[in-house]
Amino acid sequence: MTFDVYLSNYSRDNTHAVEALGAAVRQWLGEGVWHEQRIHR
């Protein structure tokens, strides 16, 4: 499964919101082997 999150707002840093969303998805899907790649733009 591939899960991409794009959240942009030029007036503030949304890194915390994206990380919280990713953590919630990983918790919802349960344990497994996770490979994560972050691209900061």
The DSSP secondary structure of 14-38, one letter per residue, reads -HHHHHHHHHHHHHHH-SS------
Range of the domain at 28: 1-41
pLDDT at res. 3: 76
pLDDT at res. 20: 92
Rounded Cα–Cα distance for residues 1 and 25 (Å)? 12
Q: What pLDDT digit, counting tens, does each position of 3-41 carry?
A: 777 777 778 888 888 889 888 988 998 888 888 888 776
pLDDT at res. 24: 92
Q: How confident is the model at residue 2 (pLDDT cuts 50, 70, 90)?
A: confident
| 1 pLDDT higher than 80 | no
Structural domains in the chain (count): 1
Rounded Cα–Cα distance for residues 1 and 21 (Å)? 16
